[in-house]
Structure 1
């Protein structure tokens, strides 16, 4: 079901989104060579709990899956999304994607960033920049009267035009009182097709790009982590966005 939010509810979601943004910023600031993913998870947990919110990823178990054990998803190098924080120590040149979510007063925020640890490769930064640009283009298309296909076309045309792959069968989603609500938000689409965008709709837009132009993935034995099938590196960029009469408003900036 697709639920439209009131202006007051969007404000409440922005408060949750601010906490997510603060948690991701703290993780990025502390993501140095030698730091473990578990240490980054603890940093995010402290920011979220310190703000009076709760982590929405922790113990999340959709469709009978095993409960997710982390506050954040920490996906390194060829891991695209859903990486479980563990004792892995970050190395110079690692490309890491951090996805985080928080719930405050019953409302959720969800966002993701990708960055390089230490001295990275130019091609990794280009991949991250492309994911960020695709996200910005998708957000720009999220205006009343447009359709979901306009968002997908903006994201997909940019990523494909640069030669990047896109994680198959995955995209964004509606968000509100639950982290995942309707509608599904595709990362590829046709202009003018799909659900019409109306003020009050709040969605998470999240391009997931793969460096070598492939789309396929495999599951790790942990049941959560999705890795590129070829070992190519990946980048993930996400914001929670409200569609308003005045245009898109980023709630996790």
Structure 2
């Protein structure tokens, strides 16, 4: 899974490097597909329950599961990209959100600042959840840590993370809201995709007629970040981060386990 995670990190880097004003979300999907081919990996998303693309591209009020197409990105859009890949039968799943770069004259500074604060809160929630994912802890500890770190932003109800391994979606479900001390106990060898999805407004969502795209009902913007992690007997490691999550976990006093030996 570490090999799959590193492969996915490279694929997402390729997509991020191509995300700019004037680029279509469909073009980003093309970049991801070529990166998958170049890496000798296959997509976890393409064809999954009929999903027609290798990545999800969600823009502004679209929180998750946006379908790439002919939408042209604008400077200042809030873009979330989610992707998964398979290497030697093992899955990895990760996502990031950014403010689309472009001509500063075409960007709303106040909106951009608000969007970046939302994105930063999503990352803070993710790292808090990862730090709480210790052997012997319970799923509720992870969920409660995510919710607490989200601050004033609303975790999207009824959507969350999941177990992962030889399939993309496996038990257990990892809620982004919860109470500590509840739920199943985490044991060494557990692999989870932790993925906070936060909204700037109330957090109520609905699904568009395409059967996939989840949008906020109040039109406020959403952010989505994700990493695949492994719970080990001597700690935790982030399989989809090149630094194993050190940059995000260091502020929380957690040193990730090094599997790159």
CA distance, structure 2, for counterparts of residue 79 and residue 228 of structure 1: 7
Query: In the alignment, which residue of structure 1 is the partner of 2:104?
Result: none
- Give the equivalent residue in structure 2 for 1:9: none
Contact 1:108 1:179 in 2 (8 A): yes
Deviations 1:58-93 (A, max 9, x none): 0100xxxxx100100000000000000001010010
Instruction: State the partner residue of 1:83.
Output: 66
1:131 and 2:122 equivalent? yes
In structure 1, the residue matched to 2:137 is 146
Contact 2:157 2:176 in 1 (8 A): no
Find the residue that maps to 1:73 and give its secondary structure. Answer: strand
Q: 1:249 aligns with which of 237, 245, 249?
A: 237
The superposition leaves residues 174-204 of structure 1 with CA deviations (integer Å, 9 ceiling, x where unpaired) of 0001000010011111111111011000000
Deviation of the 1:56 alpha carbon: 0.8
| Secondary structure class of the residue paired with 2:115 | helix
Instruction: Note the 1:160-179 alignment, pairs <5 A.
Output: 162-179=151-168
2:178 to 177, 189, 198: 189
1:17 shift after superposition = 0.9
Moved more, 117-126 or 179-188: 117-126
Given the alignment of the two structures, is residue 68 of structure 1 paired with residue 51 of structure 2, yes or no?
Answer: yes
2:27 aligned with 1:44: no
The yes-or-no answer on 1:218 pairing with 2:206 is yes
Would you say the 8 A contact 1:19–1:47 is kept in 2? no
CA distance in 2, matches of 1:29, 1:99: 15
* TM-score normalised according to structure 1 size: 0.91
How far the C-alpha of 1:23 sits from its partner, in A, is 1.1
RMSD (Å), alpha carbons: 0.8
Match of 2:219 in 1: 231
The alpha-carbon deviation at position 215 of structure 1 amounts to 2.2
Distance in structure 2 (CA, Å) of the matches to 1:53 and 1:94: 30
> Which residue among 153, 156, 167 is the counterpart of 2:147?
156
Q: Secondary structure at the match of 1:199?
A: coil
The structure with higher relative contact order (CA 8 Å, sep 6+) is 1
Shift, 1:20, TM fit: 1.1
Provide the rounded CA distance (Å) in 1 between the counterparts of 2:14 and 2:39. 13
Choose which of 79, 86, 89 in structure 2 pairs with 1:96: 79
Q: How does 1:18-33 map to 2 (within 5 A)?
A: 18-33=6-21
Distance 1:92 1:14 in 2: 34
Tell me the SS of whatever aligns to 1:241. strand
Of residues 203, 208, 219, the one that matches 2:197 is 208
Unpaired runs of 5+ in structure 2? 102-106, 242-261
